[in-house]
Amino acid sequence: MLSFLRKYLPKPFRDDKTVVPVVRLQGAIGMNGPIRTGLSLASAAIPLEKAFSVKKAPAVALIVNSPGGSPVQSRLIFKRIRDLAKEKEKDVLVFVEDVAASGGYMIAVAGDEIFVDPSSIVGSIGVVAAGFGFTEMIKKIGVDRRVYTAGEKKVILDPFQPEVPEDIDYLKTLQQEIHETFIDLVKSSRGDVLADDPDLFTGKFWTGRRAVELGLVDAVGDLRSVIKKRYGDKAEPKLISAPRGLFGRKAGVGVGLTGGRLVEGLGNELISSVEERALWARYGL
């Protein structure tokens, strides 16, 4: 009723402020633990749905700050953003903070426009797999590795067994397929503005200023300034967050807290934290 009457008030008494919902997509992608919530479709789905459901909003703004991670979760988040943009008929403005690299950049290209800080790190369009080999270590401490499988390729690339060239070739074939999917996604989203540069899809990354020149992003700009310039001085960003559940975790991610599963989970948490730290460190962060 109030909204109906407001349009009949004199202009000075109307609330004509434009609100642009904002969703923050931050962290390594797909790295969830019993304590820490990583970025995934499960953690992003609710705030994205809420943001795109704000009826009078002319656009949805996304803040992306991610060094990458799971290619599957990255593409699922990308697709959910584009599906919602089409369904709700809203523009998507992406603002990169420290880094949008690898899977983080895959998410960023869901934007109709991408804005960066001059010192943001952007790109790394490639696929990587890393691990350790412990064959010499277990020999020194006198440990036998015993694995029993049904299926001769069930334990390829086992870190406790010597590398097999055939298995490495197979892994690289999978990586190439994933890389091609990534390249196709970027070209379909930004093919008309990408520079003709041989390094674009090599996994190399650049500063935000250079990324503008390469067509990977559109312009240098920050969220508040761009929104006010585009939608007027009264326009305001409004952060949309997922509801918090038990122990302050975001809704949509389960927690196992009992017995041996908690101990195992904390061990996995430590490993995931080290892996995530390594992802950020790759870009000097």
Active site residues: 102, 154
What single string gives the DSSP state of each residue in 55-112? Answer: TT-SEEEEEEEE--B-HHHHHHHHHHHHHHHHHHT-EEEEEEEEEEETHHHHHHTTSS
Backbone angles phi, psi at 36, to 5 degrees: -100, 135
> Rounded CA gap, 75 and 79, in Å?
6
Q: Nearest CA to 201 among 212, 185, 213?
A: 185
3 state SS of 1: coil
- Pairing mode, strands 236-239 and 91-101: unpaired
Give the CA angle between residues 18, 24, 26 to the nearest 5°: 165
